[in-house]
């Protein structure tokens, strides 16, 4: 295992104070630092502010995440969180080391992302005891919905009445203020007029008028969220997903994206969280162009993980076009990660397949072609407003299973399962930690009824399974849900056995031809584990790779770990449509 470690700061108090001095210049940073540190005591190996050093690995090749809602699986008269735990026990066993339960708090809209009470589990799902039971099984990832609250939270009710806490918790602006540069992923009006004892106020709503943005210029808001983080830690949360954090700090006449105070607040949170639990991790959810996304690593002192947002659209486009040039060129440009940082690789999630991360890579023709094909497969396109006042494509809303129905060449075909599994095999081999959405794990189709009932494009990929019905499908060998689930689980088992798939292991991208995605993974120098050649046919045609086109060191006899068969690389390589190989050389 790679010795990725965490080191506590030489002087915690000084480090926290330094962050706060930059976030809140002119305020009493000493008092704020003491208040913040007190929330997180006792500290790891130390109850004072002096330094302590830990050598605790953050991750290994065995790290694989499952993304799910608390109620993605339901049973009659059963708490959904208990049904989820039952599914983890009965079907997934130890395949997943991390489980991301999407917001499990009382909410008013946006499937949980308009939080009404951060300290309470939604009683329709279960309670904190149910959450802790899942956290006993694996590392629990939870959302810290940090940018905004529900308009029905107690804080906002107090805001409207001019009471504390809440009176000064929200961003208010003069509607005449210049907000023309603000970037946001919605087309609804940015400001909402609210009656208060002091007259009408205009509150900032990045996402919807039910999601009101918090004002982190007020340090009491930050202290409130530090208390929330501590509450999560006490209830088993180890991975903190900072939702929509890029929008956190607002300044007129700016884009209000990625501002310096936002980065400092994340660094402060990391400092305090790690002092309390050195194995805890921050992951930032920033669905923005790739270069902007990378900034959330800081200099190794900010998020330990960032979402690899370009991967879903790149991989989807690769699979439906049968052309690897785009993804190969992009992978070659991806910077290596610093110590104690890595990517969270995924293809699908509860949201759509974001298009903004590839705006600088896809031509207009490529984008239009992909969008038109996804519409043909039952998808919808969500848009966002830009300064051109047009609705611009923001994300594709479709289940990944249906997105893989066919290609641009023949539309729907008979290779849906093979194409779907090939995409996941590529993702599982890439540098980083892989995450699989539960509806990809289960091969769930588009839920048109839910989309229409909720009048939400995203609902098409947020199906709620009746657990007994799902179990019947999972035990039926002729059902595609069974075939997808067990094929993916077999791949997960094989991946976890290979140190070359450690998140910190080296990666080299090869440019063999446009029908192939190929890369090498090399374990840590201290490991005696084998190097792997990961090679994937991304077309619906058989492909032959001549020996001369293979990397020089891969022209002898090897073993394909997926099929567990010997392969004669010295005579070239033959791959069936969508066949994938993880090859290690024989001695």
Binding site members for substrate? 110, 148, 241-243, 350-351, 458
User: Closest by alpha carbon to 159, among 224, 214, 112, 207?
Assistant: 214
**What is the DSSP-derived secondary structure letter of residue 208?**
B
Q: Is the dihedral of CA 114, 116, 122, 123 positive or negative?
A: negative
d(CA 338, CA 68): 29
Which residues in 301-402 belong to E strands, given as ranges?
Answer: 305-307, 342-345, 353-354, 380-385, 391-397
User: Closest by alpha carbon to 40, among 74, 68, 9?
Assistant: 9
Segment (H or E) for 480: helix 480-496
- 3-state SS, residue 192: strand
Residue with tokens 């735990």: 85
Residue with tokens 């704020």: 32
410 burial level (CB within 10 Å; 0-12, 13-18, 19+): exposed
Question: Active-site residue among 49, 130, 143, 243?
Answer: 243
Cβ–Cβ under 8 Å, residues 69 and 117: no
Round the CA-based radius of gyration of the chain to a whole number and report it: 24
d(CA 541, CA 543): 6
Cβ–Cβ under 8 Å, residues 73 and 172: no
491 burial level (CB within 10 Å; 0-12, 13-18, 19+): buried
Count of CB atoms situated within 10 Å of the CB of 28: 12
d(CA 241, CA 143): 5
- 3-state SS, residue 476: coil
**Tokens representing 93?**
């066993």
> Which residues, 6+ apart, have CB-to-CB distance to 9 below 8 Å?
15, 51, 271, 275
The number of CA neighbours under 13 Å toward the Cβ of 584 is: 19
Angle at the Cα of 14 from the Cα atoms of 8 and 17, rounded to 5 degrees: 115
Residue with tokens 């689930």: 485
d(CA 129, CA 127): 5
Q: Which residues pair with 411 in a beta bridge?
A: 407
308 burial level (CB within 10 Å; 0-12, 13-18, 19+): buried
CA dihedral 298, 299, 304, 306 (to 10 degrees): 40
Told to judge if 30 belongs to the known catalytic residues of this protein, a careful annotator would answer no
d(CA 482, CA 499): 28
456 burial level (CB within 10 Å; 0-12, 13-18, 19+): middle
Binding site members? 110, 148, 241-243, 350-351, 458
Catalytic positions, written as ranges: 243
């Amino acid at each position: 295992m790679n010795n990725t470690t965490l080191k506590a700061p030489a002087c915690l108090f000084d480090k926290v104070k330094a962050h706060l001095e930059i976030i809140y210049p002119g305020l009493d940073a000493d008092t704020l630092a003491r208040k913040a540190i007190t929330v997180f005591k006792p500290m790891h190996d130390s109850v004072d502010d002096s330094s302590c050093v830990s050598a605790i690995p953050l991750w290994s090749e065995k790290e694989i995440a499952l993304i799910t809602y608390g109620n993605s699986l339901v049973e009659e008269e059963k708490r959904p969180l208990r049904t989820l735990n039952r599914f983890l026990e009965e079907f997934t066993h130890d395949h997943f080391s991390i489980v991301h339960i999407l917001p499990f708090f009382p909410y008013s809209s946006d499937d949980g992302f308009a939080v009404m009470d951060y300290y309470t589990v939604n009683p329709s799902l279960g309670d904190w005891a149910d959450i802790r039971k899942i956290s006993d099984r694996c590392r629990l990832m939870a959302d810290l919905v940090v940018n905004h609250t529900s308009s029905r939270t107690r804080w906002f009710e107090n805001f409207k009445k001019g009471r504390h806490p809440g009176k000064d918790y929200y961003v208010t602006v003069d509607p005449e203020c210049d907000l023309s540069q603000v970037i946001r992923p919605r087309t609804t009006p940015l400001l909402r007029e609210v009656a208060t004892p002091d007259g009408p106020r205009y509150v900032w709503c990045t996402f919807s008028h039910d999601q009101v943005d918090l004002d982190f210029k007020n340090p009491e808001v930050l202290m409130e969220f530090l208390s929330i983080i501590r509450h999560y830690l006490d209830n088993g949360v180890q991975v903190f997903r900072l939702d929509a954090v890029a929008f956190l700090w607002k300044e007129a006449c700016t884009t209000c994206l990625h501002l310096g105070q936002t980065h400092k607040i994340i660094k402060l949170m990391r400092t305090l969280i790690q002092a309390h639990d050195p194995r805890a991790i921050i992951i930032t959810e920033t669905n923005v162009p790739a270069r902007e996304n990378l900034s959330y690593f800081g200099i190794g002192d900010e998020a330990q993980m960032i979402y690899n947002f370009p991967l879903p659209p790149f991989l989807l486009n690769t699979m439906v076009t049968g052309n690897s040039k785009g993804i190969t060129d992009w992978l070659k440009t991806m910077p290596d990660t610093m110590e104690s940082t890595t990517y969270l690789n995924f293809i699908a999630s509860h949201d759509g397949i974001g298009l903004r991360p590839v705006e600088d890579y896809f031509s207009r023709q490529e984008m239009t072609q992909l969008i038109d094909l996804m519409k043909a497969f039952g998808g919808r396109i969500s848009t966002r407003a830009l300064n051109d006042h047009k609705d611009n494509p923001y994300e594709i809303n479709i289940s990944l299973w249906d997105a893989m129905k066919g290609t641009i060449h023949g539309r729907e075909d008979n290779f849906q399962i093979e194409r779907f599994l090939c995409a996941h095999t590529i993702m599982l081999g890439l540098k980083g930690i892989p995450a699989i959405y539960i509806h990809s794990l289960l091969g769930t189709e588009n839920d048109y009824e839910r989309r229409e009932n909720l009048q939400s494009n995203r609902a098409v990929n947020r199906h709620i399974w009746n657990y007994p019905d799902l179990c019947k499908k999972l035990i039926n060998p002729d059902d595609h849900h069974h075939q997808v689930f067990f094929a993916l689980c077999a791949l997960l088992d094989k991946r976890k056995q290979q140190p070359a798939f450690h998140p910190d292991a080296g990666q080299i991208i090869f440019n063999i031809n446009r029908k192939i995605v190929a890369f090498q993974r090399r374990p840590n120098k201290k490991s005696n584990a084998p190097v792997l050649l990961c090679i994937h046919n991304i077309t619906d045609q058989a492909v032959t790779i001549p020996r001369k086109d293979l990397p020089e060191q891969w022209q002898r006899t090897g073993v394909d770990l997926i099929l567990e068969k010997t392969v004669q690389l010295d005579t070239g390589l033959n791959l069936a449509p969508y066949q994938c190989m993880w090859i290690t050389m024989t001695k």
